[in-house]
Amino acid sequence: MLRFAITLLAVITSSTCQKYGCLEGDTQKLNPSPEPHMQECTLYSKSSCCYADFTEQLAHSPVIKVSDSYWNRCGQLSKSCEDFTKKIECFYRCSPHAAHWIHPNDTAAIQAVPLCQSFCDDWYEACKDDSICVRNWLTDWEWDESGENHCKNKCIPYHEMYANGTDMCQSMWGKSFKVSESSCLCLQMNKKDSVAIKYLLSESSEESSSSSSSSSSEEHACQNKLLKFEKLKQKEGEQTR
């Protein structure tokens, strides 16, 4: 009976985390809340799974270390590459939606978060001439007794480690991310995500994986909404000039 109760509690906890809460990582809150004083990751300031003080680690360039993980084991990242790496870090640590893609066997991890092809291509372009010594940032480091990461192999350029943006997005963080076949039902780690999230988190979007017509409808609706969003932002930009 006790074993059943514990199992049931674990299922409920995982389900709650998936729908309403945050990932169960070492820096995340139990539930998202506003963080108006964030120094980085401000995309999530209105509803954040990380505390504002966490973002202090990302606020100054070059970023040396985040938690126990050093970013400079193969030299400092270029500013453009660092900016993309920050976007990924911010999503994992701070996004109130990350738990929608919670890993089924690890409540601190994500799996198959859909990234836009354009985002992955731009990320690869930004980092291709920087150097790296691990293909998978989650598993390929050598960790010392204090929990800090070190290279096992020599540093090589990103463009030698990864064939292209798709390879990089689907390898660097293990199975955390996937490249979406859609150009709208995917994340770009910017304000446009507010459009995609509406459809990605909807029940109809989840069901659409088994229905091509439903999927096409979702894609069309998302594209129309994104177009309106871009026109609105363009109009707002013109008014502030």
What are the tens digits of pLDDT across the range 109-157? Answer: 999 999 999 999 999 999 999 999 999 999 999 999 999 999 999 999 9
Low-confidence winner among 39-43, 70-74, 153-157, 209-213 (lowest mean pLDDT): 209-213
Residue 223 confidence class, pLDDT cut points 50, 70, 90: confident
In a domain? residue 66 = yes
Would the pLDDT of 209 be above 60?
Answer: no
Provide the domain count of the chain: 1
Cα angle 77, 132, 130 (rounded to 5 degrees) comes to 40
Higher pLDDT, 193 or 230: 193
With a cut of 60, say whether residue 210 has pLDDT above it. no
**Better-predicted residue by pLDDT, 119 or 211:** 119
- Could you tell me how many residues make up the chain? 241
Cα–Cα distances (Å) from 5 to 13, 16, 54, 140, 199, in that order, read 12, 16, 35, 37, 35
Does residue 61 lie within any of the structural domains? yes
**Residue 103 within a domain:** yes
pLDDT band at 236; cut points 50, 70, 90: low
* Domain annotation covers residue 210: no
Instruction: Answer whether residue 125 is part of any domain.
Output: yes
**Domain around 110:** 28-191
pLDDT of 232 > 80? The answer is no
- Model-level pTM? 0.83
Position 162 scores a pLDDT of 98
Average pLDDT, the chain: 86
Q: Is residue 202 part of a domain?
A: no
What confidence tens digit (pLDDT) does each residue in 169-189 have?
999 999 999 999 998 999 999
Q: How confident is the model at residue 16 (pLDDT cuts 50, 70, 90)?
A: very low
In a domain, 207, yes or no: no
Task: Count other Cβ atoms within 10 Å, centred on residue 175.
Answer: 15
The top-scoring range by mean pLDDT among 3-7, 12-16, 62-66 is 62-66
Phi, psi angles (nearest 5°) of residue 155: -80, 135
Q: Which tokens in the block code for residue 159?
A: 């463009």
pLDDT greater than 50 at residue 12: no
HEC string of the chain equals CHHHHHHHHHHHHHHHHHHCCCCCCCCEEEEEECCCCCCCCHHHCCCEEECHHHHHHHCCCCCCEECCEECCECECCCHHHHHHHHHHHHHHHHCCCHHHHEECCEEEEECCEEECHHHHHHHHHHHCCCEECCCCCCCCCEECCCCCEECCCCCEEHHHHCCCHHHHHCCCCCCCEEECCCCCCCECCCCCHHHHHHHHCCHHHHHHHHCHHHHHHHHHHHHHHHHHHHHHHHHHHHHCC
Q: Decide if 209 is inside a domain.
A: no
To 10 degrees, the CA torsion angle through 192, 96, 115, 151?
A: 130
**pLDDT band for position 62 (cuts 50, 70, 90):** very high
